[in-house]
Amino acid sequence: MPGSSRVVALTVAGGLFLSACSGPPSAPAHSARRPDAGGSARSSGGTTLLATLRGVTVPGYDSPGGTRARRVPGTWHGVRSVLPVLATRSSWVRVRLAPRPNGSTTWIPVRDVRLSVTPYRIVVNLETTHLILYKDGRQVFSAPAGVGTRTYPTPTGSYFLAFREAPPRSSPGYGAFIIVTSAHSDVISNWAGSGDAVIGIHGPLGSDREIDSAGSRISHGCIRLHEADLLRLRDVPLGTPIDIVS
């Protein structure tokens, strides 16, 4: 289960990963955002190629064989980075990154990753206030969701499941686990002194009636589900694409 550093992050004033869920934000501010790179590379069967980073850090490049642009950590908040692949070229893969700004990508040599696939994809539709799970390109289920309000919207774009985190013991309303996504709030830059505002998928927090059977706009950006619907996501692997659409 989670390392102690991640548990601390969760329990300090709501935590990094409970960023846009409940209570007033500490400092609303627009965050930098790059143009999104589009959806992940998918096969005709609906699977998505994933890249698990091998080292403590690996080099990231602006293009295959181009300029080294960054060092990509092998973990994010203590969890091994499993990143959706956007494109492949010879011995290179272009991957989506978890840290800010939203839409960050880089090219990584194939030798620095281990490749696998996920058959799943999650779509959060802000217009219909529903979360839909797909497997092998086919819809598995659709569930009503509590999403961000007009003032504190859930950010649209292409993201992924970064990892799961145990909820703080003092807040059972978050459900059995919290899905930490690679999405960051566009209007909250620093939630409760955490230094970030990461979007999570979790339980209803308050009454199930707030989500109801049609979904609603009730959060500061996080996605709330009925507990039974959240549990249906427990087997979805890290790196699975999450598309938030309006």
CATH number of 13-32+120-245: 2.40.440.10
How much is the average pLDDT of 117-141? 97
Amino acid letter, residue 71: R
- How do strand 68-73 and strand 198-202 relate by DSSP bridges? unpaired
Convert the pLDDT of each residue in 24-61 to its tens digit. 444 444 444 444 556 666 655 789 999 999 989 999 99
CATH number of 48-118: 2.30.30.40
Residue 246 CB-density burial (10 A; 0-12 exposed, 13-18 middle, 19+ buried): exposed
Euclidean distance between the first and final Cα of the chain, in Å?
34
177 pLDDT above the threshold of 80: yes
DSSP E strands: which ranges in the chain? 48-53, 57-61, 68-73, 75-76, 79-80, 82-89, 92-96, 105-109, 113-118, 120-125, 130-135, 138-144, 146-148, 157-165, 178-184, 198-202, 216-219, 223-224, 241-245
Give the pLDDT confidence score for residue 138 in this predicted structure.
Answer: 96
18 pLDDT above the threshold of 70: no
Give the pLDDT confidence score for residue 34 in this predicted structure.
Answer: 46
Q: How far apart are CA 6 and CA 17, in angstroms?
A: 9
| Shared fold status for 13-32+120-245 and 48-118 | no
Q: How far apart are CA 148 and CA 224, in angstroms?
A: 9
Convert the pLDDT of each residue in 149-170 to its tens digit. 999 999 999 999 999 999 988 7
Global pTM?
Answer: 0.86
Which range among 72-86, 173-187, 201-215 shows the weakest confidence by mean pLDDT? 201-215
Which range among 12-16, 38-42, 150-154, 204-208 shows the weakest confidence by mean pLDDT? 12-16
Helix (H, G, I), strand (E, B) or coil at 174: helix
- Do residues 87 and 95 lie in contact, with contact meaning Cβ atoms separated by under 8 Å? no
β-partners of residue 132 are 123, 142
By C-alpha distance, which of 31, 40, 6 is closest to 221? Answer: 31
pLDDT band at 208 (very low <50, low <70, confident <90, very high): confident
pLDDT band at 209 (very low <50, low <70, confident <90, very high): confident
What are the sequence ranges of the domains in the chain? 13-32+120-245, 48-118
Which range among 7-11, 163-167, 194-198 shows the weakest confidence by mean pLDDT? 7-11
Convert the pLDDT of each residue in 70-122 to its tens digit. 999 999 999 999 999 999 999 999 999 999 999 999 999 999 999 999 999 99
